[in-house]
Amino acid sequence: MKRISQTRLALLRRRLKGKYLLQNVINRLTFLPRWVIILIDLSVITFSFGLAFFFRFNFNLNSIDEFNPSFSIPAVLFISIISTLITKSYAGIVRYTGIQDAIRILHTELLNLSFLVVINLIYFYNVGKNFIPYSVIFISFFISSVLLYQYRLVIKSIFSHYKSNFPNKVPVLIFGAGVAGFLTKQAIEADMTGQYKLVAFLDDDVKKNRKDINGTKIYSYDKLTELVDKYKIKKIIIAVRSLSIERKNEIVDDALNHLIRVSYVTSFDKWLKNEWDVKEIRDVNIEDLLGREVIKLDNKAIDADLQGKVICITGGAGSIGSEMARQVLSFKPNTLILIDQAESPLYEIERELRSKNKQTKIFVFIADVCNKTRIRRIFEEFKPEILFHAAAYKHVPLMESNPSEAVSVNIFGTRTLADLSVEFKVKKFVMISTDKAVNPTNVMGCTKRIAEIYVQSLDRHLERLGIRKTSFVTTRFGNVLGSNGSVIPVFKEQIKNGGPITVTHPEITRFFMTIPEACELVIEAGVMGQGGEIFIFDMGKPVKIYDLARKMIKLSGKELNKDIEIVFTGLRDGEKLYEELLNDQENTIPTHHEKILKAKVSEYLYDEVSRNLDLLEEFINDKNEHKMVTLMKEIVPEYKSNYSRFAVLDVAH
């Protein structure tokens, strides 16, 4: 028994050694030399013509000899070489054989056929008979066309078979049994690294159930659990060109419940060109699940508003400002001016923009928006026509600790820019505000609300005087995904470091929007604004931060409370549980864009606002924070401090 066991063990070792040796050989085999492909193709063509002669003359050698095949077939080979070199049918890598290769082969064979028909006509004109029977030419055309493509498919199938049976491959399902799914299958089969083993397709279309794509079965989506249990699936690859965010979230939730990863195809462009690279398959991240459907912009109106203009963006090195610059640049302005205090980010965005557009003149300035003399010089030199004001302090707890800086930049920086815009006849001033300006509970939110009040009151004041040359428009939206210091980059860093993830409160919720989406809506709202409006954006459904943290842990392949914990730290200074886009007294008016609404807000008289701001400025200079915040509460009565040292002022008031 012991000897038998040792014999079996030795046999098993030999088999494993042979399997790994074969795997190593195939991994090292990249592609056949082109001269080998040409030799095989010529052999197939020779065989096809010989077979065509036999078929045509019923294997009667005497009839075949009348056409001297020993001379005609070499002539055919010579013509085939010329056709092959012209069409480059040898250029395709055999293991990637696809439709493009079939088209190249067909072109080669049609060229062969054309050459032989011409030679036949010339030969008949001079000799009085055909060089090769037309029937032989057409029979060989069909035989060689099929064989040339089929032998490539056979080699590809053999290669794929052995690759798919290598150990340590990740068993995967592809969601989407359409063209995109087929391309994903081809990319997996062509992958030299052999990462994935495709088990089956999943699709929502029940009509495709139990059918197959090149031997791989298609199952309805409700078979997910069964397939996961049976084949130990480790990953689902979403391969659908246009899948709704809601459906994508459903698939991800189902996958995470089964403890399997989810990926998606970032682009099909390379694959459509037969450039197979599984790097186009990327793991789903949280931004993919929080984003929304593509926004439809009125590009004609935006073109008319931005093309050929002089445009200035403050805060141009920040998350919003830099993306605004990228998008504005695509509309080909004459001049683009970026203003910011952050030296290194400003340098980086300048380099990026210059590499993308050589026609637009790009200027960057390190400047403080509160420095009226510095900003005036920029306006004097360039005469901006449109100003996007994104410069602001935004971190709530930090501004709660440094209220005078929040007031200086967010309020008086805005006033400086607004006043200079009027002086230099800027056509449109678009201010970027925040949802924290609604029923503010912190200094930062209140400063943004006061900035809104100032630009709106200034617009109405100029309109009443009949001297308005500048239209002031305000846009208001919530958190943007991936912005500097926002919750998602913080969570990613904490997960990377092994946790814990810190959440302030189990019930805290926030609205989220992608940076590109926010900037697109800012541009659209800026174009549609006539002056004095406050536009709010459809932010979708609020997201509970605790649920966000849990999903991010699962997406990273880790388990909550096993690999990474979530720790509650308590609300920070000035923070509130729920963000709002409108206060209790406000309502909205729809616009022509479904995601942009116009807020009906309480309006203030410019003279009164100006007097209050002058007094506020004195309190900044006196360094009296309590007097300053008390006045802010008088200007914005709905401002009630939350988890803040300034809450005592609400009690006193």
Q: Cα separation of 348 and 456, whole Å? A: 34
Amino acid symbol at 635: I
Indicate if 126 and 186 belong to the same structural domain: no
Report yes or no on 619 lying in a domain.
Answer: yes
Instruction: Select from 138, 160, 182 the last residue of a domain.
Output: 160
State yes or no: cis peptide before 500, omega within 30 of 0: yes
Question: What pLDDT, on a 0 to 100 scale, did the predictor assign at position 29?
Answer: 47
What is the secondary structure of 298-322 as a DSSP string?
A: -HHHHHHHHTT-EEEEETTTSHHHH
Indicate if 414 and 433 belong to the same structural domain: yes
Residue 429 has pLDDT above 50, yes or no: yes
Closest by CA position to 491, among listed 434, 436, 565, 398: 565
Question: What pLDDT, on a 0 to 100 scale, did the predictor assign at position 555?
Answer: 83
How deeply is 226 buried, as exposed, middle or buried, from its count of CB atoms within 10 A (0-12, 13-18, 19+)? exposed
Condensed to tens digits (0 to 9), the pLDDT of residues 479-533 reads 777 666 677 788 888 888 888 989 888 888 877 778 888 888 899 888 888 888 8
Indicate if 127 and 181 belong to the same structural domain: no
Indicate if 464 and 599 belong to the same structural domain: yes
Report yes or no on 628 lying in a domain.
Answer: yes
The tokens for 126 are 């001079």
Could you give phi then psi for residue 587, rounded to 5 degrees?
A: -140, -175
Question: What pLDDT, on a 0 to 100 scale, did the predictor assign at position 154?
Answer: 73
Q: What are the b/e assignments for 496-506, b being 16+ CB within 10 Å?
A: eeebebebbbe
More confident residue, 91 or 355: 355
Q: Cα separation of 239 and 266, whole Å? A: 9
Do residues 536 and 597 make contact, with C-beta atoms less than 8 angstroms apart?
yes
Q: Quick one: pLDDT band at residue 100, thresholds 50, 70, 90?
A: low
Q: Quick one: pLDDT band at residue 430, thresholds 50, 70, 90?
A: very high
Question: CB-based contacts of 464: which residues, under 8 Å, 6+ apart?
Answer: none
Indicate if 207 and 130 belong to the same structural domain: no
The tokens for 44 are 């197939």
Report yes or no on 259 lying in a domain.
Answer: yes
The tokens for 449 are 């609300």
Indicate if 327 and 418 belong to the same structural domain: yes
Report yes or no on 17 lying in a domain.
Answer: no
Between strands 596-600 and 587-590, the pairing is antiparallel
Cα maximum dimension of the chain: 119
Q: How far is CA 536 from CA 66, 586, 591, in A?
A: 88, 12, 11
How deeply is 481 buried, as exposed, middle or buried, from its count of CB atoms within 10 A (0-12, 13-18, 19+)? buried
Q: How far is CA 311 from CA 45, 107, 289, 385, in A?
A: 65, 53, 33, 6
Indicate if 469 and 424 belong to the same structural domain: yes
Q: Which helix (H) or strand (E) holds 480?
A: strand 479-481
Indicate if 216 and 153 belong to the same structural domain: no
Q: Cα separation of 545 and 552, whole Å? A: 10
Report yes or no on 109 lying in a domain.
Answer: yes
Instruction: Select from 251, 284, 317 the last residue of a domain.
Output: 284
The answer to pTM > 0.75 is: no
More confident residue, 481 or 8: 481
Could you tell me the sign of the dihedral formed by the alpha carbons of 535, 538, 542, 548, in that order? Answer: negative
The tokens for 122 are 């010339």
Q: Quick one: pLDDT band at residue 327, thresholds 50, 70, 90?
A: very high
Condensed to tens digits (0 to 9), the pLDDT of residues 134-169 reads 777 777 777 777 777 776 767 766 666 665 555 567
Indicate if 371 and 276 belong to the same structural domain: no
Question: What pLDDT, on a 0 to 100 scale, did the predictor assign at position 293?
Answer: 61
Condensed to tens digits (0 to 9), the pLDDT of residues 377-415 reads 999 999 999 999 999 998 888 999 999 999 999 999 999
* DSSP annotation of 9: H
Mean pLDDT of the chain: 80
Residue 556 has pLDDT above 60, yes or no: yes
Could you give phi then psi for residue 29, rounded to 5 degrees?
A: -75, 110
Closest by CA position to 346, among listed 365, 326, 323: 365
Q: Cα separation of 23 and 599, whole Å? A: 65
Quick one: average pLDDT of 245-255?
Answer: 87
Q: For the chain, give the percent of residues with pLDDT over 90.
A: 26
Which range is most confident: 207-221, 350-364, 495-509, 561-575? Answer: 350-364
Report yes or no on 419 lying in a domain.
Answer: yes
Active site annotation includes 436: yes
Closest by CA position to 80, among listed 130, 153, 137: 137
Report yes or no on 630 lying in a domain.
Answer: yes
Indicate if 266 and 361 belong to the same structural domain: no
Helix axes 2-28, 134-164, angle to 10 degrees: 130
Q: Which of 156, 234, 235, 436 is catalytic?
A: 436
Task: Please name every residue paired with 508 in a beta bridge, in sequence order, or none if there are none.
Answer: none
Tokens 């210091």 locate to 485
Range of the structural domain that residue 596 is part of: 299-477+511-539+573-635
Instruction: Select from 160, 195, 221 the last residue of a domain.
Output: 160
Closest by CA position to 590, among listed 600, 580, 582, 581: 600
Supply the CATH number for residue 321's domain. Answer: 3.40.50.720
Residue 101 has pLDDT above 60, yes or no: yes
How deeply is 391 buried, as exposed, middle or buried, from its count of CB atoms within 10 A (0-12, 13-18, 19+)? buried
* DSSP annotation of 123: H
Q: Cα separation of 336 and 338, whole Å? A: 7
Q: Quick one: pLDDT band at residue 443, thresholds 50, 70, 90?
A: very high
Q: Considering its fold, how many domains does the chain have in total?
A: 3
More confident residue, 12 or 427: 427
Residue 95 has pLDDT above 60, yes or no: no
Quick one: average pLDDT of 221-233?
Answer: 89
Indicate if 265 and 318 belong to the same structural domain: no
Q: Which helix (H) or strand (E) holds 200?
A: strand 196-203
Residue 272 has pLDDT above 70, yes or no: no
Q: Which helix (H) or strand (E) holds 260?
A: none
Report yes or no on 15 lying in a domain.
Answer: no
Q: For the chain, give the percent of residues with pLDDT over 70.
A: 80
Indicate if 221 and 176 belong to the same structural domain: yes
